[in-house]
Amino acid sequence: MARALRLLCIQHDDDTGPGLLAEVARERGIGFDVVMPGSAIPVGIGDYDGLVVLGASPSVNDDAIADWFESELALLRDADRRGVPVLGVCFGAQALAVALGGSVNRAARAEAGWITVETVDPDLIAPGPWLSWHVDLITPPLGATVIATTAVGVQAYVIGPHLAVQFHPEVTMAEISQWTVNDTATLEWAGVDPEVVMAETTREHEPSRQRAETLMSRYLDRVTAAAKPM
């Protein structure tokens, strides 16, 4: 009998949880453990079969997160050395880039709301729309393949067994509603009306859920393929 697979998820903010990603994993019988930054970040990936790193309010370049961000980078590098697939979402995609030798810089403008991407792998990353909410740009590490972009910058890349997306496939309607209230600065910088975001959220909820389920399933296929036998 095959052993049950387990994912470790790092959640940085109370209003940025694993949402749909956790649902899809659990539907496939895959364990999903969530930890917050700080002392809860393990030294190494241990017996976990996959690592999910979610979004965060701060930038990876903020000095204020230095006390826990180095631990997160070390965990990402350990997962990479051991061939454990990582799914990086927004801040998580940026952290994976930094961990593996890429970089992150402030964008010329914020990107928030529902976006359509140019994709070279529509079976993995559909064109969208996807919910975006970020102010930084990723320069992927050497050896990465960029698979989705917008005029603003890189939206998704793969490297080894890892998948990184700048947008938010996991996000729920409740979280989007919170973001439009709690982070008006990003919306203003992006030139986006919060009422428009919520109207589009109502329209895109079900179709985006289907696209996100496909993306997450493809990541979980990578986890299953890379999993070590008992």
Is 9 designated active site? Answer: no
> For residues 179 and 90, what is the distance between their CA atoms, to the nearest angstrom?
14
- Identify the active-site residue in 111, 170, 175, 204: 170
- Identify the active-site residue in 90, 111, 162, 204: 90
Is 170 designated active site? Answer: yes
- Identify the active-site residue in 9, 72, 168, 204: 168
The greatest distance separating any two alpha carbons of the chain, rounded to the nearest whole angstrom, comes to 54
SS (H, E, C) the chain: CCCCCEEEEECCCCCCCCHHHHHHHHHCCCEEEEECCCCCCCCCCCCCCEEEECCCCCCCCCHHHHHHHHHHHHHHHHHHHCCCCEEEECHHHHHHHHHCCCEEEEEEEEEEEEECCEECCCCCCCCCCEEEEEEEEEECCCCCEEEEECCCCEEEEEECCEEEECCCCCCCHHHHHHHHHHCHHHHHHHCCCHHHHHHHHHHHHHHHHHHHHHHHHHHHHHHHHHCCCC
Is 90 designated active site? Answer: yes
Verify cis geometry, omega within 30 degrees of 0, for the bond prior to 194: no
Catalytic residues: 90, 168, 170
